[in-house]
Amino acid sequence: MSRTKKRFIAGATCPHCKAQDSLMVFTEDGQEHAQCVECDYNMSEADMQSEEKSSNVSRDQVIGVFKP
């Protein structure tokens, strides 16, 4: 059984409970996942990609995309 390396994102705020410094990122099955340690909110790389496609924000308006 391999252990999954989990990293916290400094300064990140949970979109669900608004807790700061509570999001950790880990890779599972080749996809990145983020999870809040306060409220157990989960989001995955697949969720983010589907949101980008449905969003009205163009790539020119994005300042940066976090890809660790």
Residue at 44 is within a domain: yes
Residue at 35 is within a domain: yes
Summarised one tens digit per residue, pLDDT across range 10-51 is 888 898 999 999 999 999 888 899 999 999 999 887 766 555
Residue at 37 is within a domain: yes
Residue at 47 is within a domain: yes
CB-count exposure of residue 23 (10 Å: 0-12, 13-18, 19+): buried
Helices marked H in the chain: 45-54
Q: Which domain holds residue 30?
A: 7-52
pLDDT of residue 54: 53
Kindly state the tokens that stand for 9: 């994102």
Residue at 31 is within a domain: yes
Kindly state the tokens that stand for 49: 């990609």
Residue at 62 is within a domain: no
pLDDT of residue 46: 72
State if pTM tops 0.85. Answer: no
